[in-house]
């Protein structure tokens, strides 16, 4: 049991270092791409969600009027199915803002698919605050 924890911690530390390295240029604008979304989805899934998350059913890079990203649920009453689509903006102020946004939307996905929650910015949402902190990420509205 103890051994497992050590392995997990070292992955957190490695991830934290990677994020630090990756976000060092705070003045540099970040252009969103599917490769980074895919890679960081895997990294965050392992470091924040114990690999429990299923990927978004679809990912779109588009202009968003409110907020900097969205996790949108599409429900088909006719087919009786639902799917979750991640929407990310084409550009971010810097890479840190991109990573904060992606991880934020992943918490919404976790709430709605794993916990069958409303996906609001509620207690469940903010229960990730400390986990985020350990990776130098910021969880906010
Ligand atoms: Zn949100």
Do the domain assignments include residue 63? Answer: yes
* 3-class state of residue 89 by DSSP: coil
Do the domain assignments include residue 123? Answer: yes
Do the domain assignments include residue 121? Answer: yes
Ligand 1: distance of its center to the CA of 127 in Å? 13
> Residues 122-137, buried b or exposed e (16+ Cβ, 10 A)?
eeebeebeebbeebeb
pLDDT, tens only, 21-58: 999 999 999 999 999 999 999 999 999 999 999 999 99
pLDDT at 93 over 90: yes
pLDDT at 9 over 80: no
Ligand 1: distance of its center to the CA of 126 in Å? 10
Ligand 1: distance of its center to the CA of 21 in Å? 26
pLDDT above 70 coverage of the chain, percent: 94
Do the domain assignments include residue 83? Answer: yes
How many helices and strands (H and E) does the chain possess?
5, 5
Do the domain assignments include residue 141? Answer: no
pLDDT at 7 over 70: no
In sequence order, the 6+-apart residues with CB closer than 8 A to the CB of 69 are 86, 87, 88, 89, 101, 102, 104, 105
Do the domain assignments include residue 139? Answer: no
pLDDT at 108 over 90: yes
Ligand 1: distance of its center to the CA of 16 in Å? 22
Ligand 1: distance of its center to the CA of 29 in Å? 22
How many independent structural domains does the chain possess?
A: 1
């Amino acid at each position: 049991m103890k051994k497992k924890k050590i392995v997990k911690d070292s992955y957190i530390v490695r991830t934290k270092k990677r994020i630090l390295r990756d976000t060092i240029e705070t003045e540099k604008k970040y252009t969103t791409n599917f490769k980074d979304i895919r890679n960081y989805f895997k990294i965050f899934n392992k470091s924040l969600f114990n690999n429990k998350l299923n990927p978004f059913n679809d990912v779109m890079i588009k202009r968003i009027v409110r907020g900097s990203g969205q996790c949108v649920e599409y429900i088909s009453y006719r087919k009786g199915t639902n799917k979750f689509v991640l929407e990310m903006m084409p550009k971010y102020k810097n890479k840190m803002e991109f990573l904060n946004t992606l991880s934020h939307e992943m918490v919404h996905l976790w709430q709605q698919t794993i916990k069958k929650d409303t996906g609001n910015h509620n207690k469940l949402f903010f229960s990730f605050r400390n986990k985020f902190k350990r990776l130098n990420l910021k969880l906010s509205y």
